[in-house]
Amino acid sequence: MTYLLALDQGTSSSRSIVFDEHGHIVAQAQQELPQIYPQPGWVEHNPLEIWHTQLATARQALASAGIHAREVRALGITNQRETTVLWNRRTGQPVHHAIVWQDRRAEPACAQLRADGHEATIHSKTGLRVDAYFSATKLQWLLDHVPGAREQAERGELAFGTVDSWLIWQLTHGQVHVTDVTNAARTMLFNIHTNQWDDELLALLRIPRALMPAVQPSASHFCDVAPDLLGHAIRVGGVAGDQQSALFGQACFSAGMAKNTYGTGCFLLMHTGDRFQASANGLITTAAAQPTERPEFAMEGSVFVGGAVVQWLRDGLHAISSSSEVQSLAESVPDSGGVMMVPAFTGLGAPYWKPEARGTITGLTRGTTLAHIARASLESIAYQSAALLLAMSRDAVAAGGAPVSELRVDGGACVNDLLMQFQADLLGIPVVRPAVVETTALGAAYLAGLSSGVYGGTGDLSALWRAERRFIPTLAPARAQELMAQWEHAVRQATLD
């Protein structure tokens, strides 16, 4: 049997999964990653804890699988995107905590870039909006606020990386400084047309080029793990940011194929092939995982509050004692009774981009119960995702393509049958849940397997993908349109000044 090891470094935990060549999980291990909140709006991680938890889970997964590292053909890495690490090249020590993708401290710098008229240039080169979400202004903040950092950077003494680069540096004892195109594409410093760091953007943000890692295709030979770490030198053959890795793990390899990850937030990506396609509907364009040197692209939209609305029902309203209870509570009523929940706890993301929006519940009557609110809360995840997919389909049709014909789903909340059926009803297309829902780690394993010869091409991977359940629309299209119109009305009420 051939084995592949995936390191899945996420925002709240580090995990490692051993897969066999058929994409089945053999063993896995997970450790929680502590969150650091220095002040409101700031989120940090200790980079050394990222590394130590990730290494520990890799060792645990191999032990649980009962295999030696020499039996692993290749290793893949997938990671939380945009999180920014800056470290000393000689000592390997971080100069500051990692600034996490959720962190908003760099918003004033972004506002200045927008005010100075740079947004159009940045968007045309990177496909991104100017936002503190991305790495560039986080790195700029570190250079400006860590004593001596800018001077050290200009002397070539520091290295910048997203989490994948930091892990590879540690896995090679500081011998390799590299990233892949999907992670580079989330920095706001990478030209996704040329697949290179952009000198104009580096100069604009005063980022010394010496900080930047080399960039490779997502399936390529990045390095070999130092033998003393896992017991044998394993080829690192695949790297991709978590959402692009999930798109790959869902076998969405061609234009028009789409997946939605239902986690704390929701991340919807649609492959657009080798064509860079700008959105007219509030989405961003990003690099898809690239098995070769040929650029591949995806459109992406993010829902800020997805499964987190269930946590709010549990911890805020105390309507349920555990998240698993929400489906039965919601199913105790036939519908939401006209209640609409817009969970804009931290504003609204794509396609609305309304940071000032706040959560609202509308349509309340004397007959409204907690069950109606629970159902409306669950349905809000589907409404937000439907708004994203409809926006993507409009962009696809405008570019001469076809609307999305099927949505593949993963993430923790995709196990909720009520939510998945309502999603299919709103969209009017099948919603398909795969047999293996750990698609983020699976994508990294597949990329590693491709570059190491386990698989002959993406056709082999498509043949491995299996559906566990297909949710077929049962709602009349006119009724679905009516419900979406009610949702959009509720969104307008949530965004009133």
- Write phi, then psi, for 340 (nearest 5 degrees): -120, 130
CATH number of 3-243: 3.30.420.40
Write out the two tokens for 367: 């007959």
Query: Is 410 within 8 Å of 447 (Cβ atoms)?
Result: no
Write out the two tokens for 130: 């100017």
Write out the two tokens for 365: 């009557």
In which element (H, E) is residue 331 found? helix 326-331
Write out the two tokens for 11: 């925002």
Peptide bond into 351 cis (omega under 30): yes
- Write phi, then psi, for 464 (nearest 5 degrees): -80, -25
11 is in an annotated binding site: yes
Rounded-to-integer distance, Cα 489 and Cα 4, Å = 48
Query: Is 182 within 8 Å of 162 (Cβ atoms)?
Result: no
366 is in an annotated binding site: no
455 is in an annotated binding site: no
Can you give the residue ranges of every domain in the chain?
3-243
21 is in an annotated binding site: no
405 is in an annotated binding site: no
Report DSSP state, residue 354: B
243 is in an annotated binding site: yes
241 is in an annotated binding site: no
Those residues whose C-beta lies under 8 Å from the C-beta of residue 450, and which sit 6 or more positions away, are 219, 237, 238, 291, 457, 458, 461
416 is in an annotated binding site: yes
Q: Helix or strand or coil: residue 109?
A: helix
Give the pLDDT score at 497. Answer: 54
For residue 492, count other CB atoms closer than 10 A to its CB. 13
175 is in an annotated binding site: no
| Chain segment 183-236, per-residue pLDDT in tens | 999 999 999 889 999 999 999 999 999 999 999 999 999 999 999 999 999 999
Rounded-to-integer distance, Cα 396 and Cα 272, Å = 8
Q: Which residues does the chain have with pLDDT short of 50? A: none
161 is in an annotated binding site: no
231 is in an annotated binding site: no
The whole model's pTM is what? 0.89
412 is in an annotated binding site: yes
Rounded-to-integer distance, Cα 234 and Cα 73, Å = 7
CA dihedral 365, 371, 372, 376 (to 10 degrees): 140
For residue 486, count other CB atoms closer than 10 A to its CB. 15
Give the pLDDT score at 433. Answer: 96
Rounded-to-integer distance, Cα 195 and Cα 184, Å = 9
